[in-house]
Amino acid sequence: MLSVCQPGDLVRLPPPCAAPDCLGCDHPKTFKPASTYWQYPIGIRDGFWTPAQIPIAECYVFAVHVEGRPVEAFYSLNTTAAKAFEVGQRVEIVYEERGIAGIWQRVYVMDMRPAGKP
């Protein structure tokens, strides 16, 4: 018997669990200048397609050493919001862990705020 699979049936990711909070310490605060991303269309070409130009705003990328984890977490903020954070400052991050057990795992940082503030 031949069964037909829909594209969404091949891999189903588990839903995100409640985002835990954890403490960390800002290490480097790296400036990333404004840039442009070019998105190239893919798929069946029925006509003439041109790439889309997507501007990326300047930002600061924070590398946060998270307590209890062997790796750093990265989080980017626009230049105005980044003024509230300094290198060496204690921060609290909210993150989600996603992945498939034994295959891959990724941590998504959802929010970063100074430690001790709601």
Distances (CA, A) of 84 to 16, 29, 95, 115: 29, 12, 20, 12
The pLDDT, as a whole number, for residue 58 is 95
What CATH number did the domain enclosing 103 receive? 2.40.50
Residue 69, in any domain of the structure: yes
Six token digits for residue 20: 């835990």
Kindly tell me if the per-residue pLDDT of 41 is higher than 60: yes
* Confidence label for 111 from pLDDT (cuts 50, 70 and 90): confident
Distances (CA, A) of 3 to 9, 11, 27, 64, 95: 12, 16, 52, 47, 38
The pLDDT, as a whole number, for residue 22 is 64
Report pTM.
Answer: 0.66
Residue range of the domain that includes 103: 19-30+59-114
Q: Tell me the torsion sign for CA atoms 99, 102, 104, 109.
A: positive
Six token digits for residue 6: 């829909």
**Residue range 92-109, pLDDT digits in tens:** 888 887 888 788 877 788
Higher per-residue pLDDT: 9 or 92: 92
Residue 107, in any domain of the structure: yes
> Of all residues in the chain, what percent carry a pLDDT higher than 90?
19
Number of domains in the chain: 1
Residue 62: count of CB within 10 angstroms of its CB: 25
* Confidence label for 12 from pLDDT (cuts 50, 70 and 90): very low
Number of H helices, E strands in the chain: 2, 7
